[in-house]
Amino acid sequence: MEQFRLPKIPMPQLELPQAVQNLLDEAAEKLSDRPKLLQLFRNCFPNTLETTTKLMDDGTTFIITGDIPAMWLRDSVEQVIHYVPLAKEDKDLQRIISGIIKRHVNYIMIDPYANAFNELANDWHWNTTDVTEMSPWVWERKFELDSICFSMKLAYRYWKETGLTDIFDERFKAAMRKTVDLWKTEQHHAEQSPYRFTRNNGIPTDSLRNNGAGMPVNYTGMVWSGFRPSDDACDFHYNIPSNMFAVVTLRQMQEFAEWVFRDLAFLDEMKKLEEEINHGIQLYGIYRHPEFGPIYAYETDGFGNYCLMDDAGTPGLMSIPYVGYCSAEDPIYLNTRRFALSKENPFYYEGSAAKGIGSPHTPPGYIWHMALSMQGLTATDKEEKLEMIRLLEATDADTGFMHEGFHADNPAEFTRSWFAWSNSLFSLLIYEAMKEGIL
């Protein structure tokens, strides 16, 4: 088989945790004047638990993305991130979320370069033509810098929300060690990295050029990434939003080292790595745009070449405050946001039904629901947030769920009818809007 993609994967039906049921009851009151929005929220908020989640006998949790029978490190975190604020008093949610973290640790120890994994060592792969060091556990081995960042994000949020430290065992610390070693190696990709990836399917964005090693880069202090959060190959291999996320992740892991593991030497090592990456971002990652002023580039190679665009996936330029690198009022971020929401961004589209950011991963003219949700989550203006909610409500094609991309002129033309991450990000936006009292 060259490509293994099933339309529907049956998962055991979980009983919704009480905290989730309580929130749905609360939404029924707060959104009673907007019945369609209420129904969307009632469909989307529990969707991950109802369709993609499986509790394993070993105490871990396995989560598929929806229409693909594999667990992405990135997607699985964002599929449950809206449940974390409810986990403090709910043992069922604690079991689910801690189980995801433990499974992520296992996966990182198997192969820190991989982005997606199987439930079992069943040797299933997204594509059997991949030329790289595969494992029976690995579904896809595209090295995406952001992947492990999401694993640590979930552990950090879970710890801060619940105060529980049961996830922080020696294996977790070993995964931190493996992460730091990986990133230090990929600061010097050409000289030190064993990683190579090509896929013989005729799609250029699925392979790395230069015999699988990627295009040349200059040393910057940043960490090399083969692929973007969209799973498409980087043009220039220092992806700026992913390096920002790595800076945030190192800060979070420093807290683990200091307050949980009491390892001050490891703490100092991570501080040094954080400083090197952040220096590279500030020195090489800012482009002086003639219209918008200084903005963050999407990618650079350290030789003075830049990729100026934004992609609907997270992390992207729009989601810089969401991942915690800077505030939504940061001047360079505001310049970058104006660029991303303009026609200077080659993947920004305007149509009769909506306007917003799409992706080279989907056809031209397709806007992503996730981009609209992220625009709402990072908006500082209440009216912009409400407008994003209105657009999301109006573009579900009466399916009751969010999608991947939809045509800017016709929301009935869409990709991925079952995409749990998109449902979850929409749910987080509505949840936060209810908390803020604007819904």
| Annotated domain spans of the chain | 18-436
Query: Measured between alpha carbons, how far is 320 from 314 in angstroms, rounded to an integer?
Result: 9
Checking if the pLDDT of 30 tops 60, the result is: yes
409 token code pair: 């002129």
pLDDT tens for 374-426 read: 999 999 999 999 999 999 999 999 999 999 999 999 999 999 999 999 999 99
Checking if the pLDDT of 1 tops 50, the result is: no
Q: What is the pLDDT of residue 325?
A: 98
Checking if the pLDDT of 8 tops 60, the result is: no
Check if the beta carbon of residue 366 is closer than 8 Å to that of residue 405.
yes
Could you tell me the pTM of the whole model?
0.96
Query: Measured between alpha carbons, how far is 238 from 228 in angstroms, rounded to an integer?
Result: 10
Place of tokens 């000289």: 191
Query: Measured between alpha carbons, how far is 341 from 355 in angstroms, rounded to an integer?
Result: 9
Q: What is the pLDDT of residue 50?
A: 96
**For 280, which DSSP code?**
H
**For 414, which DSSP code?**
B
Check if the beta carbon of residue 186 is closer than 8 Å to that of residue 237.
no
How does the average pLDDT of the chain come out, rounded? 96
Expressed in angstroms, the distance from the first to the final Cα of the chain is 48
Which numeric CATH code is attached to 18-436? Answer: 1.50.10.10
pLDDT tens for 191-214 read: 999 999 999 999 999 999 999 999
pLDDT tens for 164-177 read: 999 999 999 999 99
Which band of pLDDT confidence, cut at 50, 70 and 90, is reported for residue 66?
Answer: confident
Q: What is the pLDDT of residue 55?
A: 98
Checking if the pLDDT of 2 tops 50, the result is: no
Checking if the pLDDT of 5 tops 60, the result is: no
CA angle 342, 241, 336 (to 5 degrees): 30
* Residue range 30-45: mean pLDDT, rounded: 98
* Residue range 42-64: mean pLDDT, rounded: 97
Query: Measured between alpha carbons, how far is 238 from 302 in angstroms, rounded to an integer?
Result: 8
Which band of pLDDT confidence, cut at 50, 70 and 90, is reported for residue 279?
Answer: very high
Checking if the pLDDT of 56 tops 90, the result is: yes
Q: What is the pLDDT of residue 14?
A: 86
Neighbour-count burial of 336, counting CB atoms closer than 10 A to its CB (0-12 exposed, 13-18 middle, 19+ buried):
buried
Q: What is the pLDDT of residue 10?
A: 60
Query: Measured between alpha carbons, how far is 21 from 169 in angstroms, rounded to an integer?
Result: 32
Q: Where are the beta strands (DSSP E) in 19-155?
A: 53-55, 61-63, 71-72, 116-117, 130-131, 138-140
The four Cα atoms 124, 420, 51, 121 give a dihedral, to 10 degrees, of 20
Contacts of 208 (CB under 8 A, 6+ apart): 196, 197, 198, 214, 226, 233
Which band of pLDDT confidence, cut at 50, 70 and 90, is reported for residue 13?
Answer: confident
pLDDT tens for 303-357 read: 999 999 999 999 999 999 999 999 999 999 999 999 999 999 999 999 999 999 9
* Residue range 4-21: mean pLDDT, rounded: 73
pLDDT tens for 71-118 read: 999 999 999 999 999 999 999 999 999 999 999 999 999 999 999 999
- Cα–Cα separations (whole angstroms), residue 261 to 172, 176, 225: 10, 11, 29
**For 11, which DSSP code?**
-
pLDDT tens for 150-163 read: 999 999 999 999 99
Half-sphere exposure for 55 (CA within 13 Å, toward CB): 14
436 token code pair: 């803020």
Query: Measured between alpha carbons, how far is 184 from 162 in angstroms, rounded to an integer?
Result: 31
